[in-house]
Amino acid sequence: MQDGGARHTGRVFSVLSKTERHNAIRDLVATTAISNQEELRRKLIRRGFDVTQATVSRDIHELHLYKGPSGYALPSGNGNGHLREEEDSGLPAVHEVLRSFGLKVKQAQNQLVLITASGGAQPVALAIDHEDWKEVVGTLAGDDTVLIICPDQKSASKLKARLEEMIG
């Protein structure tokens, strides 16, 4: 269902169609404005893919495209995803996440910049937030960097020491 490739049985070469079409769709969606499936269908036809609206609808599903004010768009990779679940308290202790993800801490005035392994910033920041330390005014996490804002330079230093100890 997913790839259409040789994965399971059946189809192995006609692939030249569906996957190609998906790529074409990604390209079209990324570079041109497409406000509905008929429009996308027409553009696909111009590129040699003769399909119906039903197929286009299915493709859009498989590609996880979004539809917004200005037409279809690619999945943002970032924020949109994890709106759902989340659950509750199951967070690992800071020292655990730090031990696995933490790399180093740098200080700039009242701010700390915590470098983590790739993809580790969010979980680390979450864990830190949960500690409710008074040295932490707030955190901001990207992919591998966490910015920690402290009330002042002094508390930043203190926190830095603590974090470094945890990183080991």
Binding region for its own copies (CB under 8 A) out of 12-20, 45-53, 95-103, 136-144:
136-144
Partner touching 100 among DNA, its own copies, none, CB below 5 to 8 Å by kind = none
**Shortest Å, Cβ 89 to DNA:** 15
Of residues 5 through 64, those in contact with its own copies by CB under 8 A are 30-31, 33, 61, 64
Beta strands per DSSP E along the chain: 66-68, 71-73, 102-108, 111-116, 138-141, 145-149
Partner touching 79 among DNA, its own copies, none, CB below 5 to 8 Å by kind = its own copies
Determine the Cα–Cα distance for residues 162 and 31; give it in Å rounded to an integer: 48
Tell me which residue of 160, 103, 166 sits closest to 136, measured CA to CA. Answer: 160
CA dihedral for 134, 149, 146, 158, sign (positive or negative): negative
**Shortest Å, Cβ 65 to its own copies:** 7
**Shortest Å, Cβ 151 to its own copies:** 5
Binding residue for its own copies (CB under 8 A) from 140, 154, 158, 161? 140
Contacts of residue 100, Cβ cutoff 8 Å, sequence gap at least 6: 117, 120
Binding region for its own copies (CB under 8 A) out of 19-27, 38-46, 77-85, 94-102:
77-85
Per rule CB under 7 A, is residue 23 in the interface with DNA? no
**Shortest Å, Cβ 37 to DNA:** 3
For 2, 51, 65, the CA distances from 11, given in Å and listed in that order, are 12, 18, 25
CA dihedral for 161, 163, 166, 167, sign (positive or negative): negative
Binding residue for DNA (CB under 7 A) from 14, 23, 32, 153? 14
Partner touching 53 among DNA, its own copies, none, CB below 5 to 8 Å by kind = DNA
Would you give the end-to-end CA distance of the chain in angstroms? 46
Per rule CB under 8 A, is residue 1 in the interface with its own copies? no
Determine the Cα–Cα distance for residues 121 and 114; give it in Å rounded to an integer: 8
